[in-house]
Structure 1
Amino acid sequence: MIGRKGAGALGLALAALLSAGPAMAQTATPTVPADAATIRSIRAQPAYRAAVAALEREHDEWVETIVRLTEIPAPPFKESRRAQAYAGMFRAAGLTDVEIDDAGNVLGLRRGTAAPGGKVVIMAAHLDTVFPEGTPIKVRREGTRLHAPGVGDDSTGLATQLSLIKAMAAARVATPMDILFVGDVGEEGLGDLRGVRHLFGKGKYKGRAAAFFSLDGAAEDGFTIGGVGSKRYRLTFTGPGGHSYGAFGLVNPMGALAGAITGLYGIPVPANPKTTYSGSVVSGGTSVNAIPREVTLEVDMRSESATELARLERNFIAIVDRSVAAENAARSVKEGAVKVEKTSVGDRPAGATPAKAPLVRLAVAAYQAEGISPKLTASSTDSNVPMGLSIPAITISRAAAGDRGHSTDEWIDTERTASQKVKRLNLLILLAAAGMR
């Protein structure tokens, strides 16, 4: 999951993060005394302790909520059934102003003690999964583990968010700032973060966000402060086509596609900041004995650095154009030339919340209060959008352990002790961000 130089030790830690991929995540340096004091103060308050006790009591219900949400299909661009169910859960949990917005996001507000209309803290988990419509989804239980497509990503995030809402209500926790809870659409794949883009670009709370949390990933030893950006293209190569024998010698769009993918894999990219590419999907053609009239290539490019990502994109587009020109020069164009249509199908901004930012310092202090020296990592999540807008944002865990995300054998572990630790951390960080002291 989860880059800019700052001053002092925390700035040096972030600089190290910028030169590391997720497998080389950096351990956070100690936070400043004021942040530690804030966290100690919140942990000592009766309302916080009562909310933690409510989380403990609600553990089994949390597990059942994961199962219920997982078994409501939410394929890409078809999240409405799950959205309707989640909106009902928001209402039952006592949130106000619950609605499904124009993008399909579920919104619910928990009012603070400050005057209405001010800044809000936003917490979100995404409704959609990567699995296409018709994928069989039935949760299988093995001890404390739940197995099913999408059971972790992000059904557990939705359930964890709901647990926090209910615990705060049960303990009558008061925060100075309003907290907006969101079940958002379009986080996965070609959804291209459309739900959070709408939230920050067109939604009714536009311009009011003081901080943003995404509930995503499964770990208890750190959180995400870096947003891995991505550029995704669908390239459609067309030509005159013809019989593979009778029309031999005519240009072939497959040749241009092959040149493009070969050229992509010849681009040198830095290991630090981590920058990657993938030729991911190839389709087209009509028959084994026909020169295709049309073939398609889909490509994914990523980097922790906006500069490196832009450089990779420019290089690749130049390679595509050269490959088309080379094919047209190599074979006959008497029936027409090869052409290419370049369609952007994904554009996630790269960014980061600096390690010296107050939000990160508070989160580090919360982890340290639980005896954890947290790793600060980089990934591609809903937090990319606010990071790109310079709004403080981090991605925190939905659960303590899980694996095989985006596969049909995905699993999440609901073991009580570790799960409660993650939820305590989430609650503590959220309350601190919302102004509790």
Structure 2
Amino acid sequence: MKTKFSNIDEILKQLPKLPEKLAGIQETLLANLIMLSEIPAPTFEEAARVELLLQRMVECGLHNVSIDEAGNGVGIIPGKNAKRNILLVAHADSVYSGKVDHALSVLADEIVGPGVADNSLGMAVLATLPNILEMLEIKLDANLVLLSSTKGLGRGNLDGLRFFMDNNKLPFEAGICVEGEKLGRLSYAAEGMFRGHIACRIPEELDWQRAGQNSAIIALNDVINRMLEIPIPRRPRTSIVFGAVRGGKSYNVMATRSTLRFEVRSEDAGMVQSIRERVEDIIADAAASHNAEFEFIVVSSREPGGIDVGHPLVKNCRQVMETLGVQPTIRPSMSEVSELIARGLPAVTIGITEASNLHDLNETIRIKPIYTGLAQLLAMLLAIDGGFCNEPE
């Protein structure tokens, strides 16, 4: 395949036939996907999956592979110019513990199993990319740094990626974050966010005569109702999402403990902080009203930011998708791209294939669209490598 281009249009002309060529790597890709998927990797316990990824990279002939102190897996595909670097990231962790059966079911055009889309497929792409570049005889000018980041989800709060960026000495020109789903996804901005966990505890020695008037469920319900009364502006776009509520043991036992998980998002950092302070005030008042103990923990947070819609990286990404017949779906992200953007690195998140039943045990991806997703990834790497995604000086 031609690897020296004068402009983005020359890359776009190569795209129509590329998915068919990439289908030739199916056996290797699916083997990597199955092996990586079947290793449990809940947040903070990604080591075994990362080690397998690096093993596969070594088998591909990569020598610059390592695991850092945060457990991140790093492999480097050397380019012609040692001073140039492109970062490709896929998070290693999933939402499923080792107690879940991680076996996949491979059907005619689908693969089913927990975490296969988020983000085993992203990991499999990292593992297979050296084979893909070799098959297509592509030699980039820049070094391609493959990063499998840990501690990305929930309480992990992107700590793995943050550690890597804090300690990395390589200058990057741009970054691409790879997610298994959804083909057409294009994220280049992040909303301000915090995820909160509220735990309520009522003393067990509470007078039985008041059992019907008070419990951890009633106290927490009061907090929820008052949070629902917080004024939410249409501009800046802001939302409160109530994700999970738990409490109680049985029909006739007073609930002494309850918990709430929720998320606040806004385009404005000041609005996020204002809602957080309001939630703290509501909790303090509810604690006094219900003779309850409350604990409020901010599990993770993000600052709003992004690159402009007119940035060459974004514009070229849209052109690549449209040339492949993929409709771009623009949406802000709370994932790895938010951290890269916050550090001033132009970056986007893209998805590889179509998926359904996300975060269910029967999470499903389609096989055929994967090759279109890989074609868009290769086109973007070539565009960055060619210097076509740099802002004019």
Question: Normalising TM by the smaller chain, what interval?
Answer: 0.7 to 0.9
Deviation at 1:136, TM superposition (A): 1.0
1:344 counterpart = 2:301: no
CA distance in 2, matches of 1:251, 1:426: 56
CA distance in 2, matches of 1:37, 1:376: 28
Change (3 A) 1:80 1:366: same
Q: Which residue among 176, 183, 204 is the counterpart of 2:148?
A: 183
One-letter code aligned to 1:208:
P
1:127 counterpart = 2:92: yes
Q: Which residue of 2 aligns with 1:139?
A: 104
CA distance in 2, matches of 1:51, 1:370: 9
Task: Give SS of 1:98's match.
Answer: strand
CA distance in 2, matches of 1:147, 1:327: 46
1:177-229 C-alpha deviation (Å, 9 max, x unpaired): 2211011112222222222122222x334x62321111114343341222244
Q: Which residue of 2 aligns with 1:276?
A: 240
Task: Give SS of 2:164's match.
Answer: helix
**Contact map agreement 1:124 1:181 (CA 8 A) in 2:** yes
CA distance in 2, matches of 1:284, 1:388: 41
Q: Which residue of 2 aligns with 1:23?
A: none
One-letter code aligned to 1:234:
H
One-letter code aligned to 1:380:
M
**Contact map agreement 1:39 1:366 (CA 8 A) in 2:** no
1:52-86 C-alpha deviation (Å, 9 max, x unpaired): 77633212321222222111221232111111111
One-letter code aligned to 1:39:
I
1:81 counterpart = 2:35: no
1:208 counterpart = 2:161: no
CA distance in 1, matches of 2:79, 2:140: 5
Q: Which residue of 2 aligns with 1:149?
A: 114
CA distance in 2, matches of 1:430, 1:307: 36
Which piece of structure 1 moves more, 216-225 or 424-433?
216-225
Deviation at 1:367, TM superposition (A): 2.5
TM-score, reference length from structure 1: 0.77
Q: Which residue of 1 aligns with 2:372?
A: 421
One-letter code aligned to 1:276:
I
Deviation at 1:302, TM superposition (A): 2.7
Task: Give SS of 1:379's match.
Answer: coil
**Contact map agreement 1:51 1:170 (CA 8 A) in 2:** no
Task: Give SS of 1:242's match.
Answer: coil
Deviation at 1:90, TM superposition (A): 1.4
Q: Which residue among 49, 52, 58 is the counterpart of 1:91?
A: 58
Deviation at 1:253, TM superposition (A): 5.5
One-letter code aligned to 2:199:
T
Q: Which residue of 1 aligns with 2:346?
A: 392
Which piece of structure 1 moves more, 147-156 or 242-251?
242-251
1:294-335 C-alpha deviation (Å, 9 max, x unpaired): 54433322334434333332322222222223335xxxxxxx
Deviation at 1:135, TM superposition (A): 0.3
Q: Which residue among 303, 317, 333 is the counterpart of 2:280?
A: 317
CA distance in 2, matches of 1:67, 1:303: 38
Matches of residues 17-416 of structure 1 in structure 2 within 5 Å?
Answer: 38-42=7-11, 55-115=22-82, 118-201=83-166, 203-205=167-169, 208-238=171-201, 240-245=203-208, 255-271=218-234, 273-278=237-242, 280-283=244-247, 289=253, 292=256, 295-328=258-291, 338-372=292-326, 374-399=328-353, 401-415=354-368
Change (3 A) 1:369 1:285: closer
TM-score, reference length from structure 2: 0.85
Q: Which residue of 2 aligns with 1:26?
A: none
Change (3 A) 1:95 1:351: farther
Deviation at 1:142, TM superposition (A): 2.7
Task: Give SS of 1:343's match.
Answer: strand
